[in-house]
């Protein structure tokens, strides 16, 4: 009877824990680590169809790199991206989001992402596809259990990494808090 009570109390305590705390997993590079190369194929924007190393392109600028497990893409994850983009659009034109899809079928994903962009209408986000290993680019320490990994970077270094098994728009403020102050 005592054991049943303990189990019930633990279950109630877990259920009362905010989703963001339950959902986090270790994913992404360590804080202060140098940003590794990020060679991707751009699916939306001016560079669509081109291969770009966004780590080199955004070396000094504040950037949020978002790694999406393509098979986990859903509406809550889309709301996270939309809210992140909208909040940055209010007063952080200096920050750009590079959304990197991790997939086994890069061609299919490259064809799909412009449709997602038409639906979401993101202004500060570029959709890209990592053409290599579905586990992400070397040196980025992406955890395959994380549906989404967000990496905040500036001056070529990691400011914060977030890994989520479950994510939605309520997780955006934690990411925004880790951005460097506006210059």
pLDDT digits (tens, 9 = 90+) for 142-166: 999 999 999 999 999 999 999 999 9
The tens digit of pLDDT for each residue in 105-114 reads 999 999 999 9
Return the closest-CA partner of residue 67 out of 133, 13, 147, 9. Answer: 147
Predicted local distance difference test score (pLDDT) of residue 164: 97
Q: Are strands 148-154 and 63-69 parallel, antiparallel or unpaired?
A: antiparallel
| Higher local confidence (pLDDT), 163 or 13 | 163
Give the torsion sign (CA, 156, 161, 163, 164).
Answer: negative
pTM score? 0.87
Return the domain boundaries, the chain: 25-177
Predicted local distance difference test score (pLDDT) of residue 106: 95
The tens digit of pLDDT for each residue in 28-49 reads 999 999 999 999 999 999 999 9
Which residues, in sequence order, are CB contacts of 78 under 8 Å at separation 6+? 116, 120
The mean pLDDT value for 64-72 works out to 97
* Whether the Cβ atoms of residue 120 and residue 86 lie closer than 8 Å to each other: no
Give the torsion sign (CA, 159, 160, 161, 162).
Answer: negative
Instruction: Please give the radius of gyration of the chain, using alpha carbons only, rounded to the nearest integer.
Output: 17
CATH of 25-177, one of 3.40.30.10, 3.40.50.720, 3.40.50.300, 3.40.50.970: 3.40.30.10
């Amino acid at each position: 009877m005592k054991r049943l009570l303990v189990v019930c109390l633990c279950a109630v305590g877990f259920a009362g824990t905010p989703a963001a705390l339950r959902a986090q997993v270790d994913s992404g590079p360590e804080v202060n680590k140098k940003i590794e190369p990020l060679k991707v194929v751009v699916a939306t924007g001016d560079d669509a169809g081109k291969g770009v190393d966004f780590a080199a392109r955004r070396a000094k600028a504040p950037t949020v790199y978002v790694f999406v497990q393509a098979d986990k893409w859903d509406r809550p994850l889309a709301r996270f991206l939309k809210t992140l983009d909208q909040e940055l659009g209010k007063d952080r034109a200096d920050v750009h989001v590079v959304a990197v899809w991790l997939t086994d079928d890069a061609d299919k994903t490259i064809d799909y992402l412009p449709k997602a962009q038409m639906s979401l209408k993101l202004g500060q986000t570029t959709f890209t596809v990592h053409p290599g290993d579905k586990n992400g680019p070397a040196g980025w320490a992406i955890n395959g259990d994380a549906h989404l990994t967000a990496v905040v970077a500036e001056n070529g270094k990691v400011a914060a990494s977030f890994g989520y098994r479950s994510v939605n728009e309520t997780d955006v403020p934690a990411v925004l808090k880790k951005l460097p102050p506006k210059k």
